[in-house]
Structure 1
Amino acid sequence: MLNEWADFDELEVGFPEQRALFDLLTALNGAPPPVIDSDDMVEDPDAMIAAFCDAVGPPFIPEAMTWEPGGDSSAHHWWDGESLRATLAQSTGLTPQMPRYVALTDASEWVRRVHRRMKQHYHHLYQQRIKPV
C-alpha cells in the first residue's frame, strides 16, 4: 500500500465545488462553460488550447505554445519547495506528456473511499468537456 497521501484531505479534491459552479453557470447562461480534462491537455496541448480558443473566442496562435526559458527569479513559492518554479523556468512550451496513474488497488482505503465519492462529480464534468478540434 502506498502511504503517500497520509495528510490528504478530501476537501482538496474540489470536484463537488467544481460541479456546483459548472451547474450554476450552465443554468445562469443557458450553456455550459468550457471544461478541459487534464488528461486531454497533457496528451495533446496544441489541440486542447485550439479547442479552448474555439470555445471562448480568441484566435489560436500556435506561436504562443512555445517560449524562451527563463522566469522571474525573485518569485518565491514556499508551497512547493521551489521545484515547480524551477521546472517552469526551464520550460520552453507545452508538450505532450504521458499521464502517470496510481492503481486504486495500491491506494489506501481512505483514498479509495474518496475516489468513490468524487467519481460521480468527475464524470458529470468529463461528459461535458471540450474535445480537441
Structure 2
Amino acid sequence: MRIVAWSGPRNLSTAMMYAFGNRPDCDVMDEPFYAAYLAATGLDHPMRDAILAAQPTDPAEVGRLCSREGSRHVYQKHMAHHMAPGFPLGWAEGAVHVHLIRHPARVIASYGAKREAATEADLGFGAQAALYDRFGGVVLDTADLRDDPPGMLAKLCAAIGLPFDPAMLSWPAGGHASDGVWASHWYGSVHRSTGFAGPEGPLPQGARPDLLRATLPFYEALKSRALEPSAQSAS
C-alpha cells in the first residue's frame, strides 16, 4: 500500500511519519518534493543549499520515485504546498490519501517560532484543499489524534484498510533514518519525543489575524470531512 499523506507544516506530520515508520511492515519517505519545490520557486528556506544538494530537483524524477510499488507498505509524508504549479500529480493516482489538519491558529504560532513572515502559501491550507478536491481521502484532525492516539490511529487504519499495529504509538527518541536533511532545524521537539504529546491547550490568541482569516475557511471545509473523534477524544 502507498499511503500519500498530505499536510502543511507544524501539523504533527513528522510524528505521524515516525508512527508509521515504527511498524515493521512499513517504509517512510520524508517530503521528497522539498528540493524540487525550492528549485522551482527560488524561495529562501532554512538550509536551502543542503536540501537542494540532498534530493532530486526534477519533479518528474521525484514522481517516479513516489510511484514505485514494493512488497512493503510505504508512508509518504508530503507538504501540500510543495506541489508547485506544473508539478506532475499522476504519481499519486491509485494511492491511499490521508490529510492531516490542524487549527490554523496553532500552525501560525508554531511556524512563526521557526520562520517569520509566513504567507498562506507557506502554510499550504489552500493547496491541501485543492488536493483533497482532486484525490479525496481520509481527513484526520491532529487535535483528535493527540486526545486519543490509540483510538484515532485505529480509526485511521480501519479507514484506509490497514490493520492497526500498537507499535505506532511510540518510537525511539532521536529521529528516523529517513529524516530529511532539514530535520536538525525543524524536528527538535519530535526528536526528543517517544510518542504523541497529550491534548493541546487553548488556542493561541492574537497571532496574525490576517493569516488566520485567509486559512480558516480551508481548515473548516476539511474539518467537516474529518474522522469523527473517538469516544475518549470527544469526552
The question of a shared fold, defined as TM-score above 0.5 by the shorter chain, is answered with: yes
In the alignment, structure 1 residue 14 sits paired with structure 2 residue 124: yes
The structure with the largest strand share of the pair is 2
The structure with the largest helix share of the pair is 1
Distance 1:122 1:45 in 2: 21
Change in 2 beyond 3 A, CA 1:99/1:57: farther
* More RCO (CA 8 Å, sep 6+): 1
Q: Counterpart in 1 of 2:209?
A: 112
Q: Counterpart in 1 of 2:199?
A: 97
Distance 1:37 1:80 in 2: 26
- Write the deviation string for residues 30-65 of structure 1: whole angstroms up to 9, x where unpaired: xxx100112112222111111110100111122431
Change in 2 beyond 3 A, CA 1:76/1:55: closer
- Write the deviation string for residues 48-91 of structure 1: whole angstroms up to 9, x where unpaired: 11111010011112243124445468x6744653x724x44443
In the alignment, structure 1 residue 23 sits paired with structure 2 residue 133: yes
Q: Is the 8 A contact 2:143 2:199 kept in 1?
A: no
- 1:1-133 residue pairs with structure 2 within 5 A? 6-26=116-136, 33-71=137-175, 77-78=181-182, 80-81=184-185, 84-85=187-188, 87-99=189-201, 101-103=203-205, 106-107=206-207, 111-133=208-230
Change in 2 beyond 3 A, CA 1:67/1:21: closer
Identity of aligned residues (%): 27
Distance 1:70 1:15 in 2: 29
Tell me how large the CA RMSD over aligned residues is: 3.0
Greater C-alpha radius of gyration: 1
Q: Is the 8 A contact 2:157 2:163 kept in 1?
A: yes
| Structure 1 gaps, min length 5 | 27-32
How many residue pairs align between the two structures?
A: 118
How far is 1:92 from its partner? 2.5
Q: Is the 8 A contact 1:36 1:130 kept in 2?
A: yes
How far is 1:15 from its partner? 1.1
